[in-house]
Amino acid sequence: MLKQFFPGEYLDSIYQIDFETLFQEGYRGLLFDVDNTLIPHGAPADKEIITLFQKLHELGFQTRLLSNNKEPRVRSFCEQVGGTYCYKAGKPSPKSYIEGMKTLQTSQKNTIFIGDQIFTDIWGANRAGIRTILVRPIHPKEEIQIVLKRIPEKLILHFYRKHRLRGGDCK
């Protein structure tokens, strides 16, 4: 039952992801959460993240931001990094992930979702049938509803780690 919440991978940061290898493996679409995945909640894009997105686009990736935040926030960030976006995405509903793949003209087999929350980001992407990468939240300051979700996330991550140690595959 808990496996529906397990990420395919769990990393400290988006900067630990080997995007070149993923591209060589045939992945073409990258769906990203924004706040606390790419930058601290509410912050504008910084030079490092803008450079990363330039590199991703140069590699040949199509990118799309999926955020439950409001349009002004998501649009302004997207204007800085490029790609497309979906605001008020309704995560964990798989609808915005599926629409994202249609927009990027990718499929479940060549799309990856990257986010920092299990109960919205990862669960939604798993429900949509795409590969997931969970990253640690960038900044500890979060809205109360997210802070409260972090408590059961710790339990899920405990079982995820045990599953991985036993050689389980979560992709």
**128 phi, psi to nearest 5 deg:** -85, -5
CA 70 – CA 68 distance, rounded (Å): 7
Give the pLDDT of residue 147: 62
Give the pLDDT of residue 100: 97
Give the pLDDT of residue 38: 97
Contact in structure between 11 and 135 (CB atoms under 8 Å): yes
Give the pLDDT of residue 148: 67
CA 170 – CA 23 distance, rounded (Å): 20
**Token pair of 89, please?**
């995405």
pTM for the predicted model, two decimal places? 0.86
- Residue 71's contacts (CB-CB under 8 Å, 6 or more residues apart) are 87, 88
CA 171 – CA 108 distance, rounded (Å): 12
Angstrom distances, CA of residue 133 to CA of 26, 80, 152 = 16, 23, 18
From first to last of its 171 residues, what are the pLDDT tens digits of the chain? 678 888 999 999 999 999 999 999 999 999 999 999 999 988 999 999 999 999 999 999 999 999 999 999 999 999 999 999 999 999 999 999 999 999 999 999 999 999 999 999 999 999 999 999 999 998 766 666 666 676 778 777 777 777 776 665 544
Q: Which domains does the chain have, with CATH numbers?
A: 2-165 (3.40.50.1000)
Give the pLDDT of residue 171: 43
Give the pLDDT of residue 170: 47
**Prior bond to 137 cis, omega within 30?**
no
